[in-house]
Amino acid sequence: MKSVSIVGLGWLGVPLGLYLRHLGWHVKGSKSTYDGVESMRLLRFETYYLELTPDLNVDPDDLSELLSADALVITIPPNQYLFNLSSYVQSIKNLVNEALLYGIEHIIFLSSTSVFPNQSGFFDEEMFIEPDTDIGKTLLEIENWLLSLPNVDCDVIRLGGLIGDDRHPAYSLAGRENISQGNSPVNLVHVDDCARAIQLLLEAPSCRAIYHLVAPQHPTKADYYQFVAKQLDIKPASFSCAKADPQRIILGDKICQELGFVYQYPDPYLMLPNFIAPY
């Protein structure tokens, strides 16, 4: 039985773990609070307390159990390190270096399409990147470091905006007024597609690659979020739309061409419980 450790059993890590376990994988994981560890154990996950400070704050025996696996998936976003992104970089490096000592054979790091600047263009995995945010620069630094490591298979997945049955950006936008760049396209991906793509990479020979996960359809923010608000019966946001709004489209078809991946949710309008498509 193949084993995988998911560092960060959060909003994405939990459905990923459930999906892999259903497919026969031995799934382990970590949480950064003891209450979180107990909640995951109630879901029958083999879970260990691990806090990155950036040193590894973990019981040595627990660390040995956590990192005794075939593969490691790192799902920790930089959000909790916003005030000290250098600590986030060092945290990931410390974790990976420790994993290598335990003989981890395959590492998958979940990055973000926020590495790309907010400007018009079609962005694929081969493009030269100059991030325009501190988080984008931080993620790119980690990506480059991981892919330069010798003697280990590393893959990087850049995720678009995440959507699932219990998570949608429309909720945080509800009632907001005059949101800028309403004419810009969305770059979104459903959590189920994320889990399926990660499984595909875990089971495929690593080619030390970068892949984007973004649904191929890109409606404008104004059209999409106002439609979603109506379907969810929440107060719609209002948008400021201009012809000059950046037309930033992240291309997510490389994984389809190279690994045969097929998006289950190719259109953001399908990413709703009991969806009603507007066409």
* Residuewise pLDDT in 10s, the chain (279 residues): 699 999 999 999 999 999 999 999 999 999 999 999 999 999 999 999 999 999 999 999 999 999 999 999 999 988 766 668 999 999 999 999 999 999 999 999 999 999 999 999 999 999 999 999 999 999 999 999 999 999 889 999 999 999 988 788 999 999 999 999 999 999 999 999 999 999 999 998 767 899 999 999 999 999 999 999 999 899 999 999 999 999 999 999 999 999 999 999 999 999 986 554 444
| pLDDT of res. 79 | 77
- For residue 129, give the 3-state DSSP assignment: coil
Strand stretches in the chain, DSSP E: 3-7, 26-31, 46-49, 51-52, 56-57, 71-74, 106-112, 121-123, 153-159, 161-163, 188-190, 210-213, 248-250
| pLDDT of res. 275 | 52
Alpha-carbon distance of 47 to 28, in angstroms, equals 6
| pLDDT of res. 279 | 41
| pLDDT of res. 207 | 72
| pLDDT of res. 272 | 84
Contact 9, 36 (CB under 8 A): yes
| pLDDT of res. 206 | 66
Q: Which domains does the chain have, with CATH numbers?
A: 3-164+188-216+249-264 (3.40.50.720)
Contact 109, 92 (CB under 8 A): yes
Tokens of 185: 């396209």
Contact 266, 204 (CB under 8 A): no
Cis peptide before 131 (omega within 30 of 0): no
Alpha carbon distances (Å) from 192 to 45, 198, 225, 278: 19, 10, 20, 22
- For residue 162, give the 3-state DSSP assignment: strand
- Which has the closest alpha carbon to 6: 36, 31, 43? 31
| pLDDT of res. 273 | 67
222-278: pLDDT as tens digits: 999 999 999 989 999 999 999 999 999 999 999 999 999 999 999 999 998 655 444
